[in-house]
Amino acid sequence: MGAEIREECGVFGIYAPGQDVAKLTYWGLFALQHRGQESAGIAVSDGREIKLHKGMGMVAEVFSEEKLNELSGFIASGHVRYSTTGGSVPLNAQPLVFNYKQGSIALGHNGNLANVAELKKNLLARGAIFQTTTDSEVIINVIAQYAQTDLVEGILKAMVDLKGAYSLVIMTETQLIGVRDPWGFRPLVLGQFKGGYVLASESAALDTIGAELIRDVEPGEIVVIDMDGLKSFKFMQGIKPSFCIFEYIYFARPDSIINGYHVNTVRRKMGQVLAKEYPVEADLVVPVPDSGTAAARGYAEASGIPLEEGLMKNRYAGRTFIRPSQKEREIGVRLKLNPIREVLKGKKIVVIDDSVVRGTTSKQIIELLKEAGAREIHLLLSSPPFIRSCYYGIDISNEDELIAAKLNLEETKNYLGADGLYYLSLEGLLGIFKNRDFCLACFNGDYPVPIT
């Protein structure tokens, strides 16, 4: 299930003279908390200097009213982070703020560079010094080297060298800049707010602060916002977009709109396609909350089988600061989910979830459902099997941990203890969209950008 997968980051930026931009960024990050829970940060500029506060933990833990009041200005950029490239340490928290030839720069990055080792080696050979272990600092260095006279020109030149996934929110003392890599792996949207502009990983963050979604920042586009308004620069056009299809399956909030598609609608359609591909006879459709909820609704609509909440989620499960001991770890999924026995007892059920990664969580869920008296359990997934790792900003586990890469369908079903196991087909998944501009590498091994 999606709980075994982590998005690496969420970015937010706002240019809004006369507004409390620090507070607005706080709420924007709050809406993006699902994209990273290990650290959070906000940088604010008042036109002369950039002030920064960041720390380890969730947005609500890192910021107090007092801290936010210290961050006054009219431009802000914020970041929530989960780490895979670079450790989970305070130094790696973002935005990263640096001085370069033209002044100060704050950078928040969502994604992963595929050629970071090569770029870092070249920079080190030229005498660069790194303070963090993130690939985001490599991006800043590459940009700074090219930005001798003009930052936008530096970014445009740097983009030729940067290979992989990067949705960036960059801030100087006077500008807010959004950048999306030419493949468009990770989302980035542009909104309008009280005469100013907003950039965010997902449109749900715009909704939260009352901003209006204008459009997605296009793959290969740089948007520059300053006192003269908004300018757009396009570069490296002609590269086939490779939007991450997993944003729709699991990561993005269902209330977000990404690349013109409502995430909730897409997930519902996934369930409808699953019902066509696998018309299982059952008494009930039970979602694994929340990752399987929309697809389960779609399956129930298309199949006519009633939808029932058979699993209750503890909404505070991710909030405990007490590290579970080894014994408590065995409780595992029970900390998060509890079956409703009176719904499940004696029933043949279709359970809908978004994915199976290592299989440990799905196995525990099936055990829970059996203990609660379910008679037959058919697990249906709204994604094809994961057989490869992701190098573009998602932490999916090593390939040797992916159950679908190790076991065939029958073996996986037996390991999980399910009576039936069914994955949405790749064709069925792609059929939901008008075009096929997607990265599918974790399902078919076809990596749009070579990993070096």
Residues acting as catalytic residues: 9
188 binds ligand SF4 (CB under 6 A): no
Residues listed for the chain: 452
245 binds ligand SF4 (CB under 6 A): yes
What tokens were used for 375?
């008679």
Q: Are 42 and 64 in contact (CB under 8 A)?
A: no
Size of the site for ligand SF4 (CB under 6 A): 11
Query: What part of residues 326-385 is at the interface with ligand SF4 (CB under 6 A)?
Result: none
Q: Other C-beta atoms within 10 Å of 436: how many?
A: 11
Compare residues 185 and 423 and give the one whose CB is closer to ligand SF4. Answer: 185
Rounded CA separation 254/411 (Å)? 32
Query: What part of residues 50-79 is at the interface with ligand SF4 (CB under 6 A)?
Result: none
Work out how close the CB of 114 gets to ligand SF4 at its nearest, in angstroms, rounded to a whole number. Answer: 11
Q: Tell me the torsion sign for CA atoms 65, 69, 74, 79.
A: negative
Candidate segments 19-27, 28-36, 370-378, 386-394, binder of ligand SF4 by CB under 6 A: 386-394
Query: What part of residues 388-417 is at the interface with ligand SF4 (CB under 6 A)?
Result: 390, 392, 394
Q: Other C-beta atoms within 10 Å of 278: how many?
A: 19
Compare residues 171 and 439 and give the one whose CB is closer to ligand SF4. Answer: 439
Instruction: Say which residues have a Cβ less than 8 Å from residue 65's Cβ, sequence separation at least 6.
Output: none
Work out how close the CB of 401 gets to ligand SF4 at its nearest, in angstroms, rounded to a whole number. Answer: 15
185 binds ligand SF4 (CB under 6 A): yes
Compare residues 170 and 441 and give the one whose CB is closer to ligand SF4. Answer: 441
Helices (H) and strands (E) in the chain, counts: 17, 25
3-state SS string for 326-369 = HHHHCCHHHHCEEECHHHHCCCEEEEEECCCCCCHHHHHHHHHH
Q: What string of DSSP letters covers 95-163?
A: SEEEEETTEEEEEEEES-BTTHHHHHHHHHHTT---SSS-HHHHHHHHHHHH-SS-HHHHHHHHHHH--
Q: Which of 246, 261, 278, 299 binds ligand SF4 (CB under 6 A)?
A: 246
Compare residues 28 and 393 and give the one whose CB is closer to ligand SF4. Answer: 393
147 binds ligand SF4 (CB under 6 A): no
Q: Which amino acid is at 130?
A: F
439 binds ligand SF4 (CB under 6 A): yes
The residue of the chain with the least Cβ separation from ligand SF4 equals: 390
Q: Are 395 and 84 in contact (CB under 8 A)?
A: yes
Work out how close the CB of 216 gets to ligand SF4 at its nearest, in angstroms, rounded to a whole number. Answer: 16
Q: Tell me the torsion sign for CA atoms 316, 247, 232, 165.
A: positive
Compare residues 389 and 412 and give the one whose CB is closer to ligand SF4. Answer: 389
Q: Which of 16, 374, 441, 449 binds ligand SF4 (CB under 6 A)?
A: 441
Work out how close the CB of 237 gets to ligand SF4 at its nearest, in angstroms, rounded to a whole number. Answer: 21
CA distances from 213 to 242, 248, 251, 417 (A): 22, 18, 19, 45
Work out how close the CB of 244 gets to ligand SF4 at its nearest, in angstroms, rounded to a whole number. Answer: 3
Work out how close the CB of 5 gets to ligand SF4 at its nearest, in angstroms, rounded to a whole number. Answer: 8
What tokens were used for 165?
């996934």
Work out how close the CB of 10 gets to ligand SF4 at its nearest, in angstroms, rounded to a whole number. Answer: 15
Compare residues 297 and 388 and give the one whose CB is closer to ligand SF4. Answer: 388
Compare residues 81 and 388 and give the one whose CB is closer to ligand SF4. Answer: 388
Q: Are 11 and 168 in contact (CB under 8 A)?
A: yes
Instruction: Say which residues have a Cβ less than 8 Å from residue 20's Cβ, sequence separation at least 6.
Output: none
Interface residues toward ligand SF4, by CB under 6 A: 185, 244-246, 390, 392, 394, 439-442
